[in-house]
A and B are shown apart, each in its own frame.
Chain A
Amino acid sequence: MSEITSLTLYELIKNIKEKKISSNEAAKSFVDRAEKSKKINVYVTENFENCLKLSKEFDDKPNFDLKLPGIPIAVKDLFCTNEVRTTAGSNILNNFVPTYESTVTQNIWNEGGILLGKLNCDEFAMGSSNETSFFGNVQNPIAEDLVPGGSSGGSSAALAANLTPVTIGTDTGGSIRQPASFTGTVGLKPTYGSCSRYGIVAFASSLDQAGPMSKDVKDSSILLEVISSFDKKDSTSIDFKRNNYSSELTRNIKGLKIGIPKEYRIDGMPDEIEKLWKKGIEYAKDCGAEIIDISLPHTSYALPTYYIVAPAEASSNLARYDGVKYGLRSSGKNLIDMYEKTRSEGFGEEVKRRVMIGTYVLSSGYYDAYYLKAQKVRQLIKQDFDQAYNKVDAILTPSTPSSAFKIGEKSNDPVSMYLNDIFTVPVNLAGLPGISIPAGVDKNNYPLGLQIIGKPFDEQTVLNIAYSMEEKINYKNNITDWWMK
């Protein structure tokens, strides 16, 4: 048998159920490997001792009917975990220890999952490279000094480095799919309203969604089944009939219609992305899908829309960090001075930049020109998808316009960093499900991903197409454990 840490979630569950591996053995393997992997900086907070203790308790009284029986899992540090520090990658929450649990993580523990620790991410999930984290950048296990993507960069790196069997991230503009694409892993952003936002540190509330990240498609289906639930504690949670995603997973996608949007063929897109996309189209055909050309005419307006809507909502959400009830407090000569110093010292540059943009577009006299305008364009973007879905069942695009870049390469140019999310942002604006699956490599052997976008609440079709294509693509990550040498 191969090493415990390199097993997929499905294989690990199977081995635990067949009593070939104990929960404690699994926990030990992941903890040991993490101890040797400090260099890639995935953990903000380790929960190792507690994980080892809980895994032993599971082995003493196992329940194999659970969906994640005694499985150790590390999660993005944006999910509030009861009595375990939750920082959102920010200095302002450096000392924050929640007294409650997010619904999504609670769902995981209810099914037998055990917390390994909290994974690094861009500060308040604002970033595409994990470089905005107060706790330092994360190394991509693919190669040294390469970003793992962001904002769920600690999650994607931990997964690719075999430090957790599966993980969860959050995706506001691509923060699950882009890091998955950069690390040769699978990442799914569900339909808005599928997974509860309760207990997730808020960034842009009309866009934020939690979702699974995994080594293969089947694992994402297992984890989605666990985390997707209707929750009264989130006013935008939607009560719809959820599939048994893993048992309904099938590679039979014969006759499904897959749309190819011509507007995603952007100027200056590297040849290798174009080639990857063409290859993807051939794979989809081989799987039995019918390919149809479609148009999403407002695609080029998605990023400018996003960079009004997301900062506006962020500036409002982040108003709560004032040094009064929790988090960092800096001393000031009066209340206002205390607020201003706390926020100045507590927030990093990118967060300040976005709070400033958001405050500006919402300020008196500018609201109609920016925020209202953006909401109208958002409507047009959503209508593009509605119309496309009259003709097709799903849409196939590249996940990102490039492969992973070097640490530091884009950190001084916010706009070029934002362009990374060009293919993922429209999906958040329209609230749709989207998955990124590894589909090939570029000239440097860095992974490239393809994105499959589905109809609202149709995660099953998205997963099925991904599952079917995954078999044909047969991608394998080549991780050399360079950080241990």
Chain B
Amino acid sequence: MVVCDNIFYHMTIDLKTVKHISKLARISLDEKKAEKLATDMNSIFEFIEKLNELNTDNVEPLTSIAETKLRFRDDKITSENIREKILKNSPEKNDDFFVVPKVVE
């Protein structure tokens, strides 16, 4: 992958890149799945390449279709005593907290 002058030239996504991305995405992959994903991603990016045909140097990116400003609200608590509701679906909890595997030795 080389980026220059706003045009990208797609190079093959190799197994090493797929494994790196899977780390970033926090999805563990075995070797076979990683290979399959590399193949799929390459065919998808080949298809995405088409955007290179367009010169977009002077085009404003479209970030929101709604074109509205975010609304402000008063900094007030509107829902109280919902601790139980929030904890209800927790895979593991004690009375007051979400419980996760130990993070400090």
Selected from A347, A352, A431, the residue in CB contact (under 8 A) with B37 is A352
Within 8 A of A (CB), among B1-59: 1, 3, 6, 8, 13, 17-18, 21-22, 24-29, 37, 40-41, 43-44, 47-51, 53-54, 56, 59
The answer to whether A373 touches B6 (Cβ under 8 A) is yes
The answer to whether B91 touches A235 (Cβ under 8 A) is no
For B23, give the chain A residue with the smallest CB separation: A340
Point out residues on A near B: beta carbons under 8 Å.
95-97, 99-100, 192-193, 206, 232, 235-236, 238, 298, 300-301, 303-305, 307-308, 315, 319, 322-329, 332-341, 343-344, 347, 352-353, 355-357, 359-360, 363, 365-366, 368-370, 372-380, 382, 414-415, 418, 430-431
Residues of B within 8 A of A315 (CB): 25
The answer to whether B89 touches A97 (Cβ under 8 A) is yes
Residues of B within 8 A of A300 (CB): 50
Point out residues on B near A: beta carbons under 8 Å.
1, 3, 6, 8, 13, 17-18, 21-22, 24-29, 37, 40-41, 43-44, 47-51, 53-54, 56, 59-66, 68, 70-71, 73, 82, 85-86, 88-92, 98, 100-103
Tell me whether A372 and B61 are in contact in the complex, defined as CB-CB below 8 angstroms, given that A308-B48, A327-B91, A329-B91 are known contacts: yes
Selected from A347, A359, A377, A418, the residue in CB contact (under 8 A) with B56 is A377
B97: min CB distance to chain A, Å = 11
The answer to whether B92 touches A356 (Cβ under 8 A) is no
Residues of A within 8 A of B13 (CB): 360
The answer to whether B56 touches A356 (Cβ under 8 A) is no
The answer to whether A356 touches B101 (Cβ under 8 A) is no
CA gap between A298 and B59 in the complex, in Å: 14
CA gap between A322 and B89 in the complex, in Å: 13
CA gap between A322 and B3 in the complex, in Å: 33
For B79, give the chain A residue with the smallest CB separation: A100
Q: Is the interface of A mostly helix, strand, loop or mixed?
A: helix
The answer to whether A376 touches B60 (Cβ under 8 A) is yes
Which of A332, A339, A365 is the most central at the interface, judged by chain B CB atoms within 10 Å of its CB?
A339
CA gap between A482 and B17 in the complex, in Å: 48
Residues of A within 8 A of B91 (CB): 323-324, 326-329
Which of A304, A324, A336 is the most central at the interface, judged by chain B CB atoms within 10 Å of its CB?
A304
A414: min CB distance to chain B, Å = 6
B72: min CB distance to chain A, Å = 11
Which of B3, B48, B65, B103 is the most central at the interface, judged by chain A CB atoms within 10 Å of its CB?
B65
Selected from A335, A357, A365, the residue in CB contact (under 8 A) with B41 is A357
Residues of B within 8 A of A355 (CB): 25, 27
CA gap between A345 and B18 in the complex, in Å: 18
Selected from B41, B53, B59, the residue in CB contact (under 8 A) with A360 is B41
Tell me whether A304 and B48 are in contact in the complex, defined as CB-CB below 8 angstroms, given that A360-B21, A366-B1 are known contacts: yes
The answer to whether B27 touches A352 (Cβ under 8 A) is yes
The answer to whether B66 touches A192 (Cβ under 8 A) is yes
B14: min CB distance to chain A, Å = 12
